[in-house]
Structure 1
Amino acid sequence: MSQETAFAVFCIENYKVHKSLTGKQTEALFRRYGVFDYLREFYDVLHTTGYQYINNDIDIYLKSRNAVIPVQ
């Protein structure tokens, strides 16, 4: 598994807890709004930050795309 893939899994796991989502919901959300591409593009910077920063950054990214986040 590449470092970028491991990082994406880390982000999924942390974001699902952050938003009280399932892994499947989080993966679908990330695919629909291009979060995986964003994480890959900015991996060099993001992987050096903490999970709270990353979760907040993903929130900002999704908000800028008018994402609809599922409610549990």
Structure 2
Amino acid sequence: MKDKELDIAYFLSFCMEQYKNKHQMSGEEVAILFKQYGVFPYLEDNFEVLHTQGHRWLMDEIDEWINNRKNEAKEVRV
């Protein structure tokens, strides 16, 4: 595995673990949520900027990303 790919894998794991702890969720629940709302591609695509931020900011960013995806889904259904 290339260095950058490994860095991204560690970053995704870090984000999952922090999110799990923040929301008292299981790892499986976080993985399902991140997959459902496209968090993994978002984190990967924006790794260069996101990995330089603090964990609290990252958790707020992920929450905002998920909420925006939920709102978009509601608008499509209406």
Structure 1 length normalisation: TM-score? 0.88
Corresponding residue number in structure 2 for 1:50 = 54
Distance 2:33 2:60 in 1: 15
Corresponding residue number in structure 1 for 2:37 = 33
Structure 2 length normalisation: TM-score? 0.82
Q: 1:23 aligns with which of 19, 27, 37?
A: 27
Distance 1:14 1:25 in 2: 13
Flag as ranges the 4+ runs of structure 1 deviating above 3 A. none
Corresponding residue number in structure 2 for 1:63 = 67
Distance 1:24 1:33 in 2: 14
Structure 2 unmatched ranges of 5 or more:
72-78
Relative contact order: is structure 1 or structure 2 higher (C-alpha 8 Å, sep ≥ 6)?
1
Residue 44 of structure 1 deviates from its aligned partner by: 0.4
Aligned length: 67
Identical-pair percentage: 36
Structure 1 unmatched ranges of 5 or more:
68-72
